Chain A
Amino acid sequence: MRLIVAGKDQTAEIGAELTRRAARHQGALSPWSAADSALALKDSRNMEDYLERYGKLMRFRYALCTDPFPIPGKPGFAGTLIKKLKTFLWKLLRYQHDRMSHQQNAINELVISAQDFQNSAIQQRLNTLEQRIQELEREKQR
């Protein structure tokens, strides 16, 4: 580590403090494994590989997450009250959210499937064309 603050090397002083404080960050940030994380796209060998990986990642990313989540709140009486109100509203309107997210998820899944079907059809067509070209080249050589 190296830390230069206002032109002065502060690695020993501030750097050490940052490392000490950083110890409080526990657990994993991403719910996905490294292979299924979006960052896996950085390992693509080329555009074709990128698209293949992207398609794979999209296949399990179509759904809206409606799981309960920690609602952030501000300190003080007003902050606590607003947080409680937000939590109540979230629970109250849950049936509406779930209905909408169900519909949205179905649409997303259909769109991704459509893209998959289209890609397969294009790939099939390309394969046929490549095969045909090879046959023609062979015929020409004869």
Chain B
Amino acid sequence: MISTAIHQLVAGFALGDAISHEALAIRDICRDAGLTSEIYAPKDRIASDATTTCHPLSDYQPQTSDTVIFHYSITSPATTAFQSSPGRKIVIYHNITPPEFFIPFDAGVARQLTEARQELKSILTQADAVWADSAFNAAELKGLGFSNAQVFPLLFRPDEHNRPPDPAILAKFAVPMKNILFVGRIAPNKCIEELITAFAWFHKNIEPQSRLLIVGSDRSAPTYYAMLKMYAAELELDTVFFERFASPAGLSAYYQVADIFATTSRHEGYCLPLVEAMYKGVPVVSRQTGGTPEAMGEAGVLFEDLRAEELAELFGLLCYDAPFKQTVIASQQKRVETLLNRNVGTEFLALLARGQY
């Protein structure tokens, strides 16, 4: 029997965040299927522009007939709400960042991540079904003894990226220069300092008329953000722009001005911005780590063990070698087509049915 209500619990909610994005997509699928569906998060972790979309956890009143989906990546009060829900329970595992990355920058977050790994097993044991948003994440769960985790790849909603670009951002970067873009949380596991180093070589020796645009929230680790700013200043890079969190219209503008999307992240469960960039026709360069090969498929450029100077040269190739760039873009277009042809509604409902809800 399928529940008449499918609600979701998240540790935090912000428009533009990948997990929030997925929760919204699932909510819409449920509503389209005639089910009642809401999203709940701890009140102090709901972004101010999302208070009408996501409800405070204190409003969550679970019923026995409900199904609750818990998006898990870090400890939060949502865990208790999930555990005390009387209905059927599903966990979607989005991976937990290894705490080692955060130890130099935020002991509190490092502790939370350690605790998250410790409590993960008990959460999974209490769930009636476990899903992972990438095969990489499912493999990690298998290592914990949960071999039945179903893979439900992170959802991509193209509508979000079809919005008109923010004219203020277009105007800010109107002077034509080669723009290298990074989108994602400013967090230590993203190793943005490596991207800054590669950009520094690119800017110094290949293309002085270039910018590095770093777009993403700095709230995860302000101390890491401070280090990055200090590092960019140290290298005398006055064209590194820390743009913080962007609205969907803002993101649209950043992708429009970008010549390359690059990430040197060393830990990713999936990495949705890779897909977004491919959708927007921007050549993508990513380190091969965790779930990034799944997000990329047979598209873009994946690298391992590339020195900063070599990465800078790769940026140069993508900027000035037209056939190379065209090969990369064509592969990305194919990948996007595959992703757009995915019938997420049917896929989601089939997974629900498999769990006999």
Contacts and interface: CB of A to CB of B under 8 A. Distances in A.
Contact of A46 (B103, B226, B305, B316): B103
A74 B209 contact: yes
Interface residues of B, number: 48
A6 B310 CA distance: 18
A14 B231 CA distance: 30
A44 B304 CA distance: 26
Contacts of A57: 230
Contacts of A1: 303-306, 310
Interface in B296-330: 297-307, 309-310, 312-314, 316-317, 324, 327-328, 330
A19 B301 contact: no
Contact of A22 (B104, B208, B226, B310): B310
Question: Which residue, of B106, B107, B313, has the highest number of chain A Cβ atoms within 10 A?
Answer: B313
Interface in B16-61: none
Contact of B327 (A5, A32, A42, A72): A5
Interface string A25-58: 1000111100001110111111101100010010
A44 B100 CA distance: 11
Question: Which residue, of A15, A38, A43, A49, has the highest number of chain B Cβ atoms within 10 A?
Answer: A38
Contacts of B309: 22, 25
Contact of A6 (B208, B227, B306, B328): B328
B297 A7 contact: yes
A28 to B, nearest CB: 10
Interface string B204-243: 1100110000000000000100111011011110000000
B292 to A, nearest CB: 11
Given A2-B288, A29-B204, A42 B330 contact: no
A93 interface: no
Contacts of B300: 6
Contacts of B104: 41-46, 49-50
A14 B311 CA distance: 12
Interface of A: 1-8, 14-15, 17-19, 21-22, 24-25, 29-32, 37-39, 41-47, 49-50, 54, 57, 61, 65, 69, 72, 74
Interface of B: 103-107, 188, 193, 197, 200-201, 204-205, 208-209, 223, 226-228, 230-231, 233-236, 288, 297-307, 309-310, 312-314, 316-317, 324, 327-328, 330-331
16 contacts: A2-B304, A2-B305, A3-B306, A5-B324, A6-B328, A14-B317, A38-B231, A39-B231, A41-B105, A42-B104, A45-B104, A46-B107, A50-B105, A50-B223, A54-B226, A61-B233
